[in-house]
Amino acid sequence: MLDCDTILNYSMSEIFYIDNKSYYIHSRDICKNWNCVFHNPSDHLMKDWKINIRLDNRSLVERLCPKHGVGHPDPDSLAYFEKINIRYMGVHGCCGCCRLDKSSNSKLMQWLKSFK
Protein backbone atom coordinates (compact mmCIF):
# COMPACT_ATOMS: atom_id res chain seq x y z
CA MET A 1 0.00 0.00 0.00
CA LEU A 2 1.17 3.53 -0.68
CA ASP A 3 2.20 5.79 2.15
CA CYS A 4 0.57 9.16 2.86
CA ASP A 5 3.40 11.17 1.28
CA THR A 6 2.97 9.28 -1.98
CA ILE A 7 -0.81 9.75 -1.90
CA LEU A 8 -0.50 13.48 -1.25
CA ASN A 9 2.03 13.99 -4.05
CA TYR A 10 0.42 12.03 -6.88
CA SER A 11 -0.20 13.68 -10.20
CA MET A 12 -3.57 13.96 -11.87
CA SER A 13 -3.21 11.93 -15.04
CA GLU A 14 -6.68 10.71 -16.05
CA ILE A 15 -9.82 12.55 -17.06
CA PHE A 16 -13.19 11.66 -15.51
CA TYR A 17 -16.41 13.09 -16.96
CA ILE A 18 -19.52 14.08 -15.00
CA ASP A 19 -22.37 15.80 -16.85
CA ASN A 20 -20.12 16.90 -19.73
CA LYS A 21 -17.57 18.41 -17.32
CA SER A 22 -14.08 16.99 -17.22
CA TYR A 23 -12.07 16.49 -14.03
CA TYR A 24 -8.45 15.45 -13.74
CA ILE A 25 -8.11 12.54 -11.35
CA HIS A 26 -5.30 10.23 -10.18
CA SER A 27 -4.14 7.31 -12.29
CA ARG A 28 -5.45 3.81 -11.67
CA ASP A 29 -2.11 2.62 -10.26
CA ILE A 30 -2.39 5.00 -7.27
CA CYS A 31 -5.47 3.24 -5.88
CA LYS A 32 -4.94 -0.33 -7.08
CA ASN A 33 -4.76 -1.70 -3.53
CA TRP A 34 -7.95 -0.22 -2.13
CA ASN A 35 -11.46 0.88 -3.05
CA CYS A 36 -11.69 4.04 -5.11
CA VAL A 37 -14.71 6.15 -6.05
CA PHE A 38 -13.57 6.24 -9.69
CA HIS A 39 -11.69 3.02 -10.40
CA ASN A 40 -12.91 0.43 -7.89
CA PRO A 41 -15.95 1.53 -5.88
CA SER A 42 -16.84 -0.55 -2.85
CA ASP A 43 -20.22 -2.26 -2.69
CA HIS A 44 -22.06 0.38 -0.64
CA LEU A 45 -25.64 1.63 -0.63
CA MET A 46 -24.89 4.78 -2.67
CA LYS A 47 -22.53 3.29 -5.30
CA ASP A 48 -25.05 3.79 -8.12
CA TRP A 49 -25.99 7.34 -7.15
CA LYS A 50 -24.77 10.27 -9.25
CA ILE A 51 -21.30 11.60 -8.37
CA ASN A 52 -20.58 15.20 -7.39
CA ILE A 53 -17.01 16.41 -6.85
CA ARG A 54 -16.85 19.20 -4.24
CA LEU A 55 -14.14 21.48 -5.58
CA ASP A 56 -14.89 23.85 -2.69
CA ASN A 57 -14.11 21.13 -0.14
CA ARG A 58 -10.77 19.44 -0.95
CA SER A 59 -12.38 17.58 -3.87
CA LEU A 60 -14.55 15.44 -1.59
CA VAL A 61 -16.66 13.11 -3.70
CA GLU A 62 -20.32 13.07 -2.82
CA ARG A 63 -23.13 10.83 -3.97
CA LEU A 64 -26.36 12.67 -4.71
CA CYS A 65 -29.53 11.19 -3.24
CA PRO A 66 -31.82 10.33 -6.16
CA LYS A 67 -34.90 11.10 -4.06
CA HIS A 68 -33.89 14.39 -2.39
CA GLY A 69 -30.85 15.65 -4.33
CA VAL A 70 -28.81 15.91 -1.11
CA GLY A 71 -25.05 15.28 -1.34
CA HIS A 72 -23.70 12.55 0.95
CA PRO A 73 -19.95 11.83 1.24
CA ASP A 74 -18.98 8.73 -0.69
CA PRO A 75 -17.61 6.11 1.75
CA ASP A 76 -14.58 5.49 -0.46
CA SER A 77 -13.86 9.22 -0.57
CA LEU A 78 -14.10 9.33 3.24
CA ALA A 79 -11.70 6.38 3.48
CA TYR A 80 -9.18 8.31 1.36
CA PHE A 81 -9.38 11.34 3.66
CA GLU A 82 -8.92 9.08 6.69
CA LYS A 83 -5.73 7.72 5.08
CA ILE A 84 -4.34 11.26 5.07
CA ASN A 85 -5.65 11.98 8.60
CA ILE A 86 -8.52 14.30 7.70
CA ARG A 87 -11.51 13.03 9.64
CA TYR A 88 -14.17 15.76 9.48
CA MET A 89 -15.12 15.26 5.83
CA GLY A 90 -18.21 13.18 6.63
CA VAL A 91 -20.10 16.10 8.16
CA HIS A 92 -22.96 16.97 5.81
CA GLY A 93 -26.55 18.07 5.49
CA CYS A 94 -28.43 14.81 5.47
CA CYS A 95 -31.83 13.56 4.34
CA GLY A 96 -31.19 10.21 6.07
CA CYS A 97 -31.00 8.14 2.89
CA CYS A 98 -27.25 7.48 3.31
CA ARG A 99 -27.98 5.69 6.58
CA LEU A 100 -30.41 3.15 5.19
CA ASP A 101 -27.62 0.56 5.11
CA LYS A 102 -27.26 0.09 8.85
CA SER A 103 -25.33 -3.15 8.67
CA SER A 104 -22.22 -3.16 10.81
CA ASN A 105 -20.18 -3.97 7.70
CA SER A 106 -21.11 -0.78 5.88
CA LYS A 107 -18.11 1.55 5.56
CA LEU A 108 -20.29 4.51 6.42
CA MET A 109 -21.50 2.88 9.65
CA GLN A 110 -17.92 1.92 10.57
CA TRP A 111 -16.83 5.52 9.99
CA LEU A 112 -19.72 6.89 12.10
CA LYS A 113 -18.92 4.47 14.94
CA SER A 114 -15.30 5.66 14.98
CA PHE A 115 -16.46 8.89 16.68
CA LYS A 116 -18.10 7.17 19.67
Q: With contact defined as beta carbons under 8 Å apart, do 51 and 61 qualify? A: yes
Q: With contact defined as beta carbons under 8 Å apart, do 50 and 71 qualify? A: no
Give the percent of the chain with pLDDT over 90: 29
Burial class (CB in 10 A: 0-12, 13-18, 19+), 67: exposed
Name the 3-class secondary structure at 60. strand
For 33-56, write each residue's pLDDT tens digit: 889 999 999 998 899 999 999 888
For 3-33, write each residue's pLDDT tens digit: 555 555 566 677 888 888 888 888 888 888 8
Q: How far is 36 from 83, CA to CA, in rounded Å?
A: 12
Q: What is the pTM of this model?
A: 0.73
- Averaged pLDDT, 54-71: 90
Look at residue 9 in the predicted model and tell me its pLDDT.
Answer: 56
